[in-house]
Structure 1
Amino acid sequence: MDGFAGIFEALTGRSPLRWQCRLHDLFLTGKLPPALDLPTGLGKTSVMAVWLAAKIAGAPLPNRLVYVVDRRVVVDQATEEAEALRRTAIAHGLLPDLPISTLRGQHLDNRRWMEDPTAPAIIVGTVDMIGSRLLFRGYGVSAGMRPFQAGLLGVDTLVVLDEAHLCPPFQALLVRIAAREGLGPSESLGPDAALLPPFILLPLSATGNDTEGAFALKEEDEKDSFVRDRLTAGKRLTFTPSDGKVEDGLVREALALADSPGGRIAVFCTSREVAQKVADRLVDRKAGRPPEAVVLLAGARRVHERERAKEELQATGFLPTRKDQSALSPPTFLVATAAGEVGIDLDADHAVMDLVAAERMIQRLGRVNRAGGKGRLAQVRVIDVAPEKESAEAQVRREACRRLLESLPIRSDGGFDASPGALLTLRKNRDLLVRASTPAPLYPALDRPTLDAWAMTSLKTHPGRPDVAPWLRGWVEEDDPEITLIWRRWPWDEHGRLPDPRTLADCFEAAPPRLLERLEAPRSLALKILAERAKRVDLGDHVPAVLALADRVEELTLAELRDKRRRDPFFERRSADMVFVVRHDLGGLDGHGLLAGDAAGPVPCLDDGWDDEILKNAGLRIVFDEAGEASRSEGKGGWRQVDRIGLTDPQRPDAERYLSIQVWRDADRETGGDPAVRRRVQGLYDHLGEAEAEAAALAERLRLPAPCRAMLMAAAKAHDLGKRRLQWQRAMGAPRSGEPYAKTNGKGANPALLLINGETYRHEFGSLLDLERAPEVLAGLDADLKDLALHLVAAHHGYARPWIAPVDPDWQTSLASHRERAAAAALRFARLQATWGPWGLAWWEALLRAADQRVSRRLDEGAQPAEETA
């Protein structure tokens, strides 16, 4: 395959455009532009293909590409493009594999991107999901996994920030991280600091942010018909007065356009309430507009329902599809809030919209007549009406936006020319463009003490550890932050009772919220709907209706949910990563998955109502087990039991009742549970030997110098020595004969055996003691690398950052010596983090952890049916 054109065509099925070729030339040098400034619709997501082609050609680029989008609804579309690249790259023999992971949508985070830090991988996610992980506070991520993910995202990564102008606080954060000034390795490292591969930021924007040296179109690029058609796509914009409510005008104009050529009408609304009203009024079976011809695209839906919305967009013709399915006969309508404005390849024939800030208007216009072409002309009707309770500042911005749009060229048939090429002229009026755009919120600068506090991930609490939200989104003026809800059937019993606090905490530790079931919504909206539901149901005033998952599980009864004085404080002053668990029979979600006060329960959810295929996507299921049925079915089809939570029934104290927590293990799903529990057993020394070989291979591919390679291998050779304790073997259900085991099938496990003086024994801590007794394992390493090896052993499951439980069942040692060893581990962490920087140290940890997990994954993939415990 000859050159970039051949590789790009093999990957995408089309020849590269001129601008893509110029960008590839830059990528080959490893020196990327500070920003990519292209009009919407010109295929900015092809940056993934340009990067991959450059990596295949041997360009000195980061191994991981992180594609960040600001709207949650479109993440899966970017993932689909990435997965198409994976299929074609493998089919043409260009790469053996290309792990693709997303932190939203059907695919979820399968964690494939963490398996080989030396190989190309693509991760797609939102600002919140990527940003929180970068800052060691990953939303929905366990404390043990946070440093692993932060290390791999903060080092050897190219972050492509789509529509960067919509999230200036996050862009500023990424600029600060890329600069590394005061956040990276110490100067004392000298040349060794170059061992850490770089973190690079490439912002993408369709509105122009005057970044000096930004990559932009040149006159020669218009020779490509694709570019020319998109720049000149006909769009005739007119303003329409409204003498009533905004929804009246939107419905009227949408119906007036229904008979226009094409028949796909997009209706953009500022508020969710208006969008719901418009969608309801557009449905009219007698007029040939059945419910399936009207798609409502709004936020505040679970990932599960957002996936269904994509199918509806394909059926109505607003999204392309590779499936052989016929679109509905026109007219069809898409009613969208901000969720349909950014990063989604929508293509409507005409559009109606209210007047909003300039950057949002430009995005909306990019969803109409997107492809252009001869003879296509989109009618765009803008209703300029003041929304209810509009602030003076918003009114000034709206009026400035109208003047800005009225400065567009006048078409020969009347109306304003809103083609992408014409929109470029708006940049000439910079002052008016600024006044017509939403001002960037204030945000805090990232400093080293705050970052260090976040990086202490093994501390449950820390007085100097603030929420990361302001660094991602800025200080938002309106006091209505989003909160996260999930619906669950368990652990409530049939009488609405909860188990004791310890068992309750165990339930959610074993079965934490999964991305598929999470719904983010403005707090005021969530409280309004939940309060309405509380008034409509009779579950018992003292029955807990909502739980808050924090350091301990907090409860809110149904009576308290009805009482504003008790309800509001419960939901306020909560951390950004807190999740509220709603009883599924409280209801609150309608058929579209939208919050609705009149939507009676029970809500189909992860542990009641979702079928097995959905649960496989979630990677988790919770099975009630009263007579051993769950444990007998466990193991079929890839489901593996990782925990069993005992439930008590006061009316039947002798009855055995359990929740069986099971995870789905295969190559493409998110997994969970204890990493020591696998599909088959493995001896400890076999595991250590394989981990050492994996560490050597990773070091070789990273071209680490010989001393660092020896350090990583020594850490891998010793990392699980603490599993030799008989107590650990019994607790994990290891076979009772033969050598000690590193991996067990979990049958007969009793983790309670690891409790010592109220703390849980960690095998990593035991490994530190064993290394003291066998100093020859680290012999030959200089003092600094020996320090690093000891830390990697202690921290390879996320502990010792800085705290690890100072308990060990070894009978020859004292509690005082354990405390001294734990204190030394904490000081070692602080010393190494000061030397390598937070992301640098976490990257070293990730290398050892990746070697360990590659061995475990290979064990599962090549496993036969699990052996019976002797």
Structure 2
Amino acid sequence: MTPQQTAITAGLTLPEFGSFFAALNDGNRPFGWQQELAEFVIRNGRWPEAIVAPTGSGKSAVLDVHVFAVAVTHAPDWSGPRVPRRLWHVVGRRALVDDMAERAQHHARALSNALTEGEDGVLGRAARILHSLSPWTETVLGVTTLRGGIAPERGWQDDPLSCQIICATPDMAGSRLLFRGYGSSVGMRPREAGLLAHDSVLVVDEAHLNRQLLTTAQRVSALAAESPLAAHVQALQVVETTATPAALPSDSAAIGVALDDIRAGRIEPELSQRLTRPKPVTLHTDGPWLSGQTGAAATSAAREIMAMVQDAVKAGQTPVGVVVNRVASALAVHDLLQKGAPELRVQLIVGPRRRWEQTTDRSKGAPDVYVATQAIEVGLDLDFAALITDLAPGAALAQRAGRVNRRGLRDMGPVHVLCPPGEKVTEKFALPYRPSDLEASATWLDRRAADPNGIAPTAILADPAPAEAPSRPVFSEIEPSRAALFSRTSERLVVEPDLTLWLRDGLDPDADVTVVGRRLPRVGEGVDDGIDIGESIALLTIAPPQPHEAYPSTITRLAPMLRGRRSPSVMFIRREDGWEAVSPSDGVPQLRPGETIVVPHDWAATMSAVIVPEGTSEVGDVLDPSPEDPALGATHAVGTQGRSVAVTTGRPLAGVADHLRQSLLEVAAALQDEDEALTVRSVRHALQDRGQWETWRLYLGIPEQDSELEARIAVVAGGRSSEAPEQASWVLFSIRHPAVSDDAELSVTSVSQRVFLADHQRDVAGRARESGLRAGLPEGMLQLLELAGLHHDDGKRDPRFQDWLTQGKGSTEPLAKSGHARLPRRQKSFLPCKWRHEQLSAAMLCEAVPGVDPLIVRLVGTSHGLGRGVFPMNSDELLHPSAHDSLRAAATELFDVGQWDAWVERTDVEWGIWGVAWLEALLRSADVSISKEGR
């Protein structure tokens, strides 16, 4: 390391990692291997190929290392290589995705506070550097969660320069890498692929569970590195974390904790305690075994497990962990413990459980018992005093045992392994595993049970657990031709590609979807099943589902329930083009990975906040204030959205008299008739006249005469109820400003005032140039981006488009954006269906700049993520009848003769499909950021 790299004028030096880590972790210093990892990343400007460390060694510190390394290597006077700005932490357990996201959010809050308070310590200095990466945003550290099919959190796609942590499941990350992001819009997909393939590091946690994703990511990394862009913006770096160094290629750069270091005492005493304290194994070969049992046998097994739990609690072994192989088993044990041992605090941890209940459980104090499935196997920061677990494959048992005496503060941590009945494991009892894997695990456990150390991490390093038999004979490598096909995102294929072959270790096509319960408006009062389809879609559009509302499920598990006799009366599926209403009685359409399904809140299909066939509890609606959270301002929401409360026609509202609910809906309708703005103030005045405001004030949790909070609450109402025309169909109170975030809306509206086209294009060109400069691009590429920004909206000059923006009233000069928050009349009233201004912009650029670089034309034409392949219109359909001959000739050459198609293919070859996508993302982010500023 050079002297310039050691002493940074901005105030951060590599040795300060320990202080940085301690500031984020309650004063705890990093372990030696964590410090070594930080040094490796900063010195080399890249991550090692592998992190090898036993369970409990602190692998979650990759988040701390990432943030510190970005701050150091992106300081203004740093002369060495820079590390990627985005870290993707990928793991196949929803619970761990949430756990890592919470850790990242903690770090983000600490850094943001340090910046706000002007701290001079290591956090303050790091925060100032991170904030300077993208100074036109408020971001210090961006955190995003992508998992379980909920409408994916947005924002990271619009911010390519900030330091980001993105926590995701393998399907959600992998599908984005392959231009087919589950739950993403067509226009968003190329941007996501480009930002993942460049200036990102992908950490695949417990990589032995995700070998296919690892293979695909490494292949994409190699392909992205062939782009000329990679000389300036690094191609994707891929890191696998594992506890089995023997599985790594001999030339891999790996950092972590080795068995020799542990035995020789070359690690910290605290870490040594974690890894060496005994975890003796007791095998229970005569039961109890719950998986696969029914009737009396299942009841008896659950009672035996409860008795074992009670014995452990009496022995002072709390908390005790109970880990079973199936969700149904976990629900049965959880239900029995709640009824049979009410004195115990019991927390349920299963993958398909709603985050709302998980948050509520954590607020009730430390549990005595955790009942879980495989959801706890990877990385969750739990510390059991004792473990009762079903027999599972060896690697899974090693992970489960990693939650026992996790911090090494106890002398030992007993592990009780429940084995299935009979001498030979049958498939009935083995599912979801193979009988052969359980038998191999049982043989290994016989050895471990004879060793007093049992399955302590050091014992497992010395006697590794048997690997599961691979689910497929070979892993697939994505071919360039296949990737190129995937990248043509705006072409509708006859059959959408199944990504299973490139994302999953098994070939089971099942995938995640999400269910959300909502109180949906009826067509009138007293109409039980008459859900107002149009107004329900309007409500879902203005208040889309958030992660904490989600019931995670899978297509295989959910589809039969939606078709069964107890199916919901109607449901709404979030598709690329918006919400689609479906009546299960007419047949359920094919569900796609990552989709969100909204059902009426009174659908009875849950047990312990898990959707299961035997469920009898309502799915509910978490928009309703609850006794634990009565205030609108006390948000449980995760991400950028705040707390919302909806009041709808035809459905009673808990805690509010029915005549008051109807009165509020009438007031909203009356205010609309009077053309008066809907605000808390206007609603308050109207309800005060009726003597009803105090009830609503208390219900919404608004302090008396709190004008500041009132100003922060947006009030939005729906249209008239068809059978109760004096009422609005719904009213939404939302503690967030209704900022336009939809790409289509951002393109044509401004929340402040009319924006002239020349001003907007000039501002976008300047922002694109500055973004490219901050990203490290050379002058030639900066000029390219600047020119693209200067012409990206030329097509808005079309007279028909200008008529739409002004609603036929005209303007003194061409506009880029209307002054309306929303355009009251749809585009089709003025323009042909499927007409796109950026298609016309590409033709106008060719006319205005003869011999223009095809890449610039490509970036202009794809500036909204469309045109990646073909545009739907030919030149005659695209152009206004008054278009002059030179423009018509340029459009004909591009879209009739086929020059556009040729240039798309040419730029893909020259720059690589992920390189072009990254450039598109940078240009689009410049447009979005300027638009959000009202310019």
What's the TM-score bracket when you normalise by the shorter of the two chains? 0.7 to 0.9
Q: How does 1:792-831 map to 2 (within 5 A)?
A: 792-806=859-873, 807-808=877-878, 810-813=880-883, 821-822=894-895, 823-831=898-906
Deviation string, structure 1 residues 510-566 (Cα, Å, up to 9, x no partner)? 77655444433244532454466627x8xxxxx645768477977664556xxxxx6
* 1:42 equivalent in alignment to 2:75: no
Which residue number in structure 2 is paired with residue 202 of structure 1? 239
Aligned partner of residue 283 in structure 1, secondary structure = helix
Assess, with a 3 A threshold, how the Cα gap between structure 1 residues 753 and 114 changes in structure 2: closer, same or farther. closer
What secondary structure does 1:711 align onto? helix
**Runs of 5+ consecutive residues of structure 1 not aligned to the other structure:** 319-331, 538-542, 561-565, 861-870
Q: Distance in 1 between matches of 2:636 and 2:806?
A: 30
Aligned equivalent of 2:479, options 447, 454, 476: 447
Letter aligned with residue 588 of structure 1: A
The match for 1:789 among 843, 856, 867 is 856
1:382 to 417, 439, 453: 417
Question: Where does residue 816 of structure 2 map in the other structure?
Answer: 742
Is residue 341–residue 360 contact of structure 1 (8 Å, CA) maintained in 2? Answer: yes
Partner residue, 2:400 = 364
Q: CA RMSD in A?
A: 4.0
Question: Residue 294 of structure 1: which of 336, 346, 354 is its match?
Answer: 346
1:698-753 per-position Cα deviation (integer Å, ceiling 9, x unaligned):
12223322221111111111212333345434434588655443344535723424
Q: Secondary structure at the match of 1:348?
A: coil
| Mapped pair 1:708 → 2:781 | yes
* Percent pairwise identity: 25
Is the CA contact 1:715–1:792 (under 8 Å) kept in the aligned structure 2? Answer: yes
Pairing 1:469–2:500 present: yes
The reply to whether residue 335 of structure 1 matches residue 371 of structure 2 is yes
Cα deviation, residue 692, structure 1: 1.8
Counterpart pick for 1:103 among 142, 145, 160:
145
Partner of 1:68: 90
TM-score by length of 1: 0.81
1:234 maps to: 278
Aligned to 1:679: 751
What are the equivalent positions in structure 2 for 1:346-495 lying under 5 Å apart? 346-373=382-409, 375-386=410-421, 389-390=428-429, 394-408=434-448, 410=450, 416-427=453-464, 433-434=466-467, 439=471, 444-459=476-491, 461-463=492-494, 465-477=496-508, 481-490=511-520, 493-494=523-524, 495=527
* Residue 605 (structure 1) shift: 5.5
CA 745–260 in structure 1, closer or farther in 2 if over 3 Å, else same:
farther
Partner of 1:322: none
CA distance in 2, matches of 1:251, 1:816: 78
How far apart are 1:763 and its partner, in Å?
2.4
Aligned partners of 1:641 and 1:661 also within 8 Å: yes
Distance 1:816 1:261 in 2: 83
In the alignment, structure 2 segments of 5+ residues that lack a partner are 1-10, 74-80, 115-123, 132-139, 291-300, 649-664, 681-709
Task: Describe the shift of the 1:447–1:556 C-alpha distance in structure 2 as closer, same or farther (beyond 3 A).
Answer: same
Alignment-derived partner of residue 268 in structure 2? 224
Equivalent residue in structure 1 for 2:771, among 660, 678, 698: 698
Match of 1:868? none
Q: What SS is found at the alignment partner of 2:378?
A: coil
Q: Which residue of 1 aligns with 2:918?
A: 843
- 1:491 and 1:310 mapped to 2: Cα distance? 28
Q: What SS does structure 2 have at the residue aligned with 1:335?
A: strand
Which digits, 9 at most, give the CA deviation of each residue in 1:42-82, with x for residues without a partner? 11111222233333332432221111121112223212322
> Residues 646 and 658 of structure 1 are in contact (CA less than 8 Å); yes or no, is this contact kept in structure 2?
yes
Q: TM-score, normalised by structure 2?
A: 0.76
* 1:783-807: CA deviation from partner (whole Å, max 9, x where unpaired): 5xx2111111111111111233535
Kept in 2, the 8 Å contact 1:266–1:334? The answer is yes
Query: Is the alpha carbon distance of 1:666 and 1:709 closer, same or farther for their aligned partners in structure 2, counting shifts above 3 Å?
Result: farther
CA contact (8 A) 1:238 1:380 kept: yes
The C-alpha deviation readout for 1:90-116, integer Å capped at 9, x for no partner, is 622223333322224899965443444
The separation in 2 between residues aligned to 1:407 and 1:616, in whole angstroms, is 45
Q: Against the structure 1 CA distance between its residues 439 and 464, is the aligned structure 2 distance closer, same or farther, given a 3 Å change threshold?
A: closer
- Structure-2 change in CA distance of 1:16 and 1:480 (3 Å): closer
Give the secondary-structure state (helix, strand or coil) at the position aligned to 1:274: helix
Who is 1:768 aligned against? Answer: 842
44, 61, 68: which one pairs with 1:29? Answer: 44
Post-superposition offset of 1:154: 1.1
Match of 2:100 in 1: 78
Match of residue 599 from structure 2: 582
Paired residue for 2:791, among 718, 722, 732? 718
SS of the equivalent of 1:49 reads helix
CA distance in 2, matches of 1:416, 1:151: 48
Larger mean CA deviation between 446-455 and 96-105 belongs to 96-105
Determine if contact 1:664/1:670 at 8 Å carries over to the other structure.
no
Q: 1:269 aligns with which of 299, 324, 338?
A: 324
Q: CA deviation at 1:29?
A: 1.4
Aligned: 1:260 with 2:306: no
Question: Contact 1:69–1:161 (CA<8 Å) still a contact in 2?
Answer: yes
**Partner Cα distance (1:796, 1:225) in 2:** 55
1:467 counterpart letter in structure 2: D
Cα distance in 1 for partners of 2:165, 2:670 equals 42
Amino acid at match of 1:812: S
Question: What does residue 325 of structure 1 align with?
Answer: none
Kept after mapping to 1: 8 A contact 2:111/2:141: no
Distance 1:391 1:316 in 2: 35
Match of 1:15 among 12, 17, 29: 29
How far does the alpha carbon of each residue in 1:850-869 deviate from its partner, in whole angstroms, 9 at most, with x for none?
A: 11122233349xxxxxxxxx
Whole-Å separation in 2 of the counterparts to 1:471 and 1:317: 41
**1:467/1:12 CA distance change after superposition, 3 Å:** farther
Could you tell me which amino acid in structure 2 is paired with residue 362 of structure 1? A
8 Å CA contact 2:158, 2:921 repeated in 1: no
Q: Distance in 1 between matches of 2:391 and 2:552?
A: 26
Q: What CA distance in whole angstroms lies between the structure 2 residues aligned with 1:258 and 1:272?
A: 23
User: 1:752 is matched with which residue?
Assistant: 826
Q: Distance in 1 between matches of 2:901 and 2:734?
A: 33
Equivalent-residue separation in structure 1 for 2:61 and 2:835 (angstroms): 49
Inter-partner Cα distance in structure 1 for 2:822 and 2:563: 45
Q: 1:711/1:748 Cα in 2 relative to 1: closer, same or farther (>3 Å)?
A: closer
Q: Distance in 2 between matches of 1:593 and 1:481?
A: 17
Residues 281 and 417 of structure 2 are in contact (CA less than 8 Å); yes or no, is this contact kept in structure 1? yes
| Structure-2 change in CA distance of 1:529 and 1:608 (3 Å) | farther
> Any residues of structure 2 matched to 1:429-578 within 5 Å, and which?
433-434=466-467, 439=471, 444-459=476-491, 461-463=492-494, 465-477=496-508, 481-490=511-520, 493-494=523-524, 495=527, 496=529, 514-527=546-559, 529-530=561-562, 534=566, 544=570, 549=575, 557=583, 559=585, 570=588, 574-578=591-595
**Cα distance, 1:756 vs structure 2:** 6.3
Map of 2:293 onto structure 1: none
* Alpha-carbon distance between aligned partners in 1 of 2:541 and 2:500, rounded to the nearest angstrom: 24
Contact 2:278–2:411 (Cα < 8 Å) also in 1: yes
Q: What is the deviation of 1:766?
A: 3.2
